[in-house]
């Protein structure tokens, strides 16, 4: 676990993680996960290189007939699974156009008509009137300082949170995206800067409660954590 000063990012070898976790940048390929076949577009985060996608897709509670916002949707596995599990409306957003296209492709592949997708930098480009019963982001947990060379890589944002920018954006904005009675969740890992998570959450009126943890292939040395954000202002 990487713990440290909540005001500073902890370096966890971002360059090596980028090499491992980014999708192949040259060709599309098919993979199997959660009993289904999926397509991965060039340059999109590969769910087959991390235990996180399968774990969070199963662990995040969904409201039957509810609405779901999937931030950082990648290839769209979680958004599609939520729709097929009974969500009536799923919005998937990502900073990368390739990820949005990949999500829409996989939604069509599985007949998940409830899924829509758009480019958005966290919540910035989502219509302000939209509210959701469930909001989730598998946050890039490899915290790196802004001057780390890996932060300059064009795919760094898929796994690296440069200067805790993603953490701050999510925790400061998620409350405004919840419908009455809605629930906010955050995916993290024991390699993340847990002290910064707690500190930033509390600054924004949240208490992170650990709901589930899991590790497994292909990276059994990393334990992935699912947190629910509990409002401290109730």
pLDDT, tens digit, for every residue of 183-221? 999 999 998 899 999 999 999 999 999 999 999 999 899
pLDDT, tens digit, for every residue of 83-119? 999 999 999 999 999 999 999 999 999 999 999 999 9
Asked if residue 160 has pLDDT above 80, the reply is: no
Q: What CA–CA distance (Å, rounded) separates 176 from 95?
A: 20
Residue with the larger pLDDT of the pair 9 and 44? 44
- Over residues 18-38, mean pLDDT: 74
Token pair, residue 2, equals 């990487």
Q: What CA–CA distance (Å, rounded) separates 73 from 78?
A: 7
Domain range summary for the chain, segments of one domain joined by + = 14-231
Q: Which residue in 28, 79, 30 sits closest to 53, CA to CA?
A: 79
* Structure letter (DSSP) for residue 157: G
**How many C-alpha atoms does 84 have within 13 Å on its Cβ side?**
18
Assign residue 31 a region (left: φ > 0; alpha: ψ between -120 and 50; beta: otherwise).
Answer: beta
Assign residue 58 a region (left: φ > 0; alpha: ψ between -120 and 50; beta: otherwise).
Answer: alpha
Q: Which residue in 234, 218, 186 sits closest to 49, CA to CA?
A: 218
pLDDT, tens digit, for every residue of 32-86? 999 999 999 998 999 998 999 999 999 999 999 999 999 999 999 999 999 999 9
14-231 CATH: 3.40.50.150
What pLDDT is attached to residue 49? 87
Q: What CA–CA distance (Å, rounded) separates 144 from 12?
A: 7
């Amino acid at each position: 676990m990487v713990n440290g000063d909540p005001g500073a990012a902890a370096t966890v070898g971002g360059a090596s993680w980028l090499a491992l976790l980014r999708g192949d940048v040259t060709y599309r390929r098919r993979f199997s996960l959660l009993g289904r076949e999926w397509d991965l577009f060039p340059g999109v985060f590969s769910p087959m290189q991390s235990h996180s996608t399968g774990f969070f897709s199963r662990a995040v509670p969904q409201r039957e007939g509810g609405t779901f916002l999937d931030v950082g949707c990648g290839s769209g596995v979680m958004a599609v699974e939520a729709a097929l599990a009974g969500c009536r409306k799923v919005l998937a957003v990502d900073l990368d156009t390739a990820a949005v296209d990949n999500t829409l492709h996989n939604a069509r592949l599985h007949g998940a008509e409830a899924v829509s997708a758009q480019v958005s930098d966290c919540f910035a480009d989502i219509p302000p009137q939209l509210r959701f019963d469930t909001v989730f982001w598998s946050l890039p947990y490899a915290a790196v300082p802004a001057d780390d060379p890996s932060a300059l890589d064009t795919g760094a944002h898929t796994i690296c949170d440069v200067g805790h920018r993603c953490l701050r954006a999510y925790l400061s904005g998620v409350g405004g995206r919840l419908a009455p009675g809605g629930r906010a969740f955050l995916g993290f890992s024991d390699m993340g800067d847990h002290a910064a998570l707690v500190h930033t959450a509390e600054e924004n009126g949240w208490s992170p409660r650990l709901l589930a943890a899991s590790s497994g292939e292909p990276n059994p040395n990393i334990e992935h954590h699912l947190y629910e954000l509990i409002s401290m202002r109730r």
